[in-house]
Structure 1
Amino acid sequence: MQDSLSQRVRGWTPFFVLVDIISVAGAFLAAFIFSQLIPPHTFDLTWVPPVKEGILLSLSLCGLVLHTVIWLREGHYMYQLLNGRSFRICAAQLLFLALTLFIYLALWRDYQVSRKLLLFFLALLGPCLWTGKIVFLQLLKIMGKRIQPRLRILVVCDETGEDATRQWFSNKTMLGIHLCEVLATEADACHETFLEHRLEEAIKRGRPNLLIWRLPTDAARTEKIRQIAESHGTHLAVDLLPIVGDMGSVQLTEYSQMKLVSLHKHPLVSPAHRFLKRLLDVSISLPVVVFVLPFLCAGVWLLHRLFSPGPLFFRQSRSGADSQMFQIYKFRTMNVNHGSESVQARPNDTRIFKCGALLRKLSIDEMPQFLNVLLGNMSVVGPRPHMAEHDAIFTLECSQYALRHTVKPGVTGLAQVRGQRGPVDHASEIKHRVTSDIEYCQNWSFYLDLQIIARTFLHVFSFHAKSC
């Protein structure tokens, strides 16, 4: 469910998509004409491309719409345009359309298509898409003040938020959005007199369609504000930030008897998302366990025989999803019976045997954890699992620490690829890691997992300073 402001901003997306469609069609027509003018040619100039080459245009238009639906949904298209990121959008569209065309041509190897036409089309796509967006944005800037009906907005906020509010609305005029007035007040001046007099006078003066309330409120005050607004035909939207604080994305869900405002997202509650993540885990861990791990076991076993005889694997209890304990598998990198397993490893640690440090630097000691992934105790990507005693210490340092246990721990994670790994020396370090872990838990996506996996390969060979 969207408010009127979102409807007005996001409602322009189909018009920009229509402009993109016209731009793609124009690029194809120009490429077709140029391909006939560049030798070798038949001197038989036509304006209508044959059906067999027109399929390129059809595929491009379908790919354009698909790209908009998948990557630029939920208003992201308009917000990126308004923030001056039209070039980024064009680059993403061009890459997606080129990939779509090349996949099609690769599947149909016998399909005859003009290489000149294809090259000209790809060369003109980017400039045409960018030009179309810029021209339409300029047209909106010229015509924006004349768009009727206009969405007139009155904002009530404290003095500290006035400048930011005016700045946000500064480039929305071209969308038919008019900021009537900003009523700025001191934080302790939000009393009944203000509600009954200044607010009502401002509504009568500006006749807004929408009142945005950006001050702390409660149920009784909100009801009173709503009555004042609705008595003048004005809709009310309440900013939850002054009420709930900076909690990230707030989700509003309506049921038959409830209206829930959720302060946290948890994508992996969805059975479909959990199945997709498990599918990725198995597809990666199974080949590693079958084809890679046996050779690593042989190599590490040989290093053990040379430098530190003892068991091949190191097993330890770690906390997993929902704080359930499990046995984690690692290649042993320390001498046997050193008697201090709960102490975190540090650079030049005397417990680590010769060549054990290299195994840790390259994260080879972590490879047996793919057995845990295959068994279902861990995932390829997720927060790193800690020992129970460390959980107790870190919980005291960060009140949100337990939120990282809402998903399975991972072999790698968002915190690790950001360099937040190794021993914890300061309380701020664990807070940064927990922030990254919670960010991952609440913003999980299949693409994010793939991105973290790719970044892990680069990070492993960077020999991070805190890896030990």
Structure 2
Amino acid sequence: MQDALNQRVRGWTPFFVLVDGLSVACAYYSAFVLSQLLPPDTVNLVLAPPAKEGVLLALGIIGLLLHTLIWSREGHYMFQLLNGRKLRICAAQVLFLALTIFIYLGLWRNYDISRKLLLMFLITLGPCLMAGKILFMKMLQVLGAKIQPRLRILAVCDEAGEASTREWFSNKTMLGINLCEVLAIEANAGQEAFVEHQLEEALKRGRPNLLIWRLPTDAARTEKIRQMAESYGTHLAVDLQPIVGNMGALQLMEYSQMKLISLHKHPLVSPAHRFLKRLLDISISLPVVVLVLPFLCLGVWIVHRIFSPGPLFFKQSRSGADGQMFKIYKFRTMTVNHGRESVQARANDSRIFTGGGLMRKLSIDEMPQFLNVLFGDMSVVGPRPHMAEHDVLFAMECSQYAMRHTVKPGVTGLAQVRGHRGPVDDASEIKHRVTSDIEYCQNWSLYLDLEIIARTFLHVFSFHAKSC
């Protein structure tokens, strides 16, 4: 029984997907009936949908399966359900199914489908999906105690962790998971022999399928506990939280003679992921550079001629991926030769000429950085690049600062859409930015990049107070 707890939780996913499929079918049939009750078709009610209209049901099922394959992997679907996020899942499913249908209809424009039926189908999808999930979970709550064979679990933890352990298992009964006992070890019960005696007694009493060990341990002690558990037919799972602390998601990898536990994720090490990100960068930066930037250059050049004659671009050395320096391009928004290039701009800064402030508010001054993206020095999304002297100062305040250099810097980033932009006023502001940057580096996905880009448009026009 490999990864027994995770397999028991994730193993219910196909059943919920089956219920979702039935819910989509119910939504389709309900939409067909309701569409006939709307004017002008209010007579001659037909109960059997024509085969031609059945393409909507087929597309709905295909969209549901694609959503499951893409977004519900690694048990995320079940854990979101158990965490009470049914509405969020239903909303994502409806959007994905609607996108699938509209893509199909866009490719086959001549395919004749009733608009009333399509509208009613999209309206009834959400309620039917939600109702299906609620009813199935209610049924599991009633029948869960009868599910056999049950997964009986013995958890060993300290007294401080007893409440959280019981809470996590409180809503798992409907999945056939039974927390038969929590062995809470007192803080002063440090003698291994005493703890192991209590453990053996608990194994005899409960005969659990799975032992979850949530205390600090080492290789020798773990092997001893494993042998004791297996002598009672119990599988052992070791919680690494007491050993490594709050290090984020851990990954176990096996390479021949090595079993490595990685404390960090780095998805952009993958050549495939790097290719996708570079493809996104080029697909966005090339149109901007060719179609948008020339007109912006003309407009900014006119503003310069009127308010502050001088160079069109401001070029400055910034640190990029792996700490490599590069020249960043910006539209100049400050007067020429003010002699304070290393000082961050602030609200009402005397160096900013008339019109420059609005350019900074709307992030127009950042647009030439798409040249850097096209050249490969930057990405559309990533941690913002800083000057070398600021890197030194910020690293003194946050020991993890260098972790943000594992990816290319970006025109926008997760920290910026969360409001952490503009001048840095204190150490907490640095830590907020670095935390967001590291979160992005370790959780990159194409979807996350697209989400940040979309949020950037909203953030730019919010005229954030710290944009100066």
Give TM-score, length-normalised by structure 2: 0.95
Q: Is the 8 A contact 1:195 1:225 kept in 2?
A: no
Moved more, 46-55 or 439-448: 46-55
Q: Is the 8 A contact 1:20 1:129 kept in 2?
A: yes
- SS of match in other structure, 1:247: coil
Q: 2: distance between equivalents of 1:83 and 1:246?
A: 21
2:84 equivalent in structure 1? 84
Answer yes or no: is 1:417 the counterpart of 2:423: no
Q: 2: distance between equivalents of 1:362 and 1:29?
A: 49
Percent identity between matched residues is: 79
Q: 2: distance between equivalents of 1:120 and 1:361?
A: 43
Q: 2: distance between equivalents of 1:267 and 1:195?
A: 41
Q: 2: distance between equivalents of 1:376 and 1:59?
A: 40
Aligned residue runs from structure 1 range 57-456, under 5 A: 57-456=57-456
Q: 2: distance between equivalents of 1:132 and 1:42?
A: 29
The code of the aligned residue for 1:82 comes to L
How far is the alpha carbon of 1:233 from its aligned partner? 0.9
Q: 2: distance between equivalents of 1:316 and 1:65?
A: 49
- Pairs aligned (count): 468
1:458 equivalent in structure 2? 458
Q: 2: distance between equivalents of 1:171 and 1:190?
A: 32
- SS of match in other structure, 1:101: helix
CA shift in 2, pair 1:212/1:341, >3 Å: same
1:34-91 Cα shifts (integer Å, max 9, x gaps): 4456665597665543321222211111111111111222111111221222222222
The code of the aligned residue for 1:21 comes to G
Q: 1: distance between equivalents of 2:8 and 2:300?
A: 62
Aligned residue runs from structure 1 range 40-59, under 5 A: 47-59=47-59
CA shift in 2, pair 1:403/1:188, >3 Å: farther
1:223-252 Cα shifts (integer Å, max 9, x gaps): 111111111111111111111111111111
Q: 2: distance between equivalents of 1:120 and 1:158?
A: 55
The code of the aligned residue for 1:450 comes to L
Q: Is the 8 A contact 2:185 2:195 kept in 1?
A: no
Moved more, 333-342 or 196-205: 333-342
The code of the aligned residue for 2:150 comes to R
Q: Is the 8 A contact 1:329 1:371 kept in 2?
A: yes
How far is the alpha carbon of 1:385 from its aligned partner? 0.6
CA shift in 2, pair 1:342/1:120, >3 Å: closer
How far is the alpha carbon of 1:353 from its aligned partner? 2.3
Moved more, 125-134 or 43-52: 43-52
The code of the aligned residue for 2:436 comes to S
Moved more, 409-418 or 80-89: 80-89
The code of the aligned residue for 1:172 comes to K
Q: 2: distance between equivalents of 1:50 and 1:346?
A: 66
1:92-147 Cα shifts (integer Å, max 9, x gaps): 22222222223322322222223343333333322222222111111111111111
- SS of match in other structure, 2:314: strand
CA shift in 2, pair 1:262/1:339, >3 Å: same
How far is the alpha carbon of 1:282 from its aligned partner? 0.9
The code of the aligned residue for 2:422 comes to G
CA shift in 2, pair 1:47/1:305, >3 Å: closer
Q: CA RMSD in A?
A: 1.9
Moved more, 409-418 or 43-52: 43-52
1:356-409 Cα shifts (integer Å, max 9, x gaps): 222222211111111111110001111011111111111111110000000000
- SS of match in other structure, 1:75: helix
Q: 2: distance between equivalents of 1:326 and 1:311?
A: 19
Moved more, 158-167 or 83-92: 83-92
Give TM-score, length-normalised by structure 1: 0.95
How far is the alpha carbon of 1:274 from its aligned partner? 0.8
Q: 1: distance between equivalents of 2:41 and 2:400?
A: 69
Q: Is the 8 A contact 1:229 1:235 kept in 2?
A: yes
Moved more, 78-87 or 157-166: 78-87
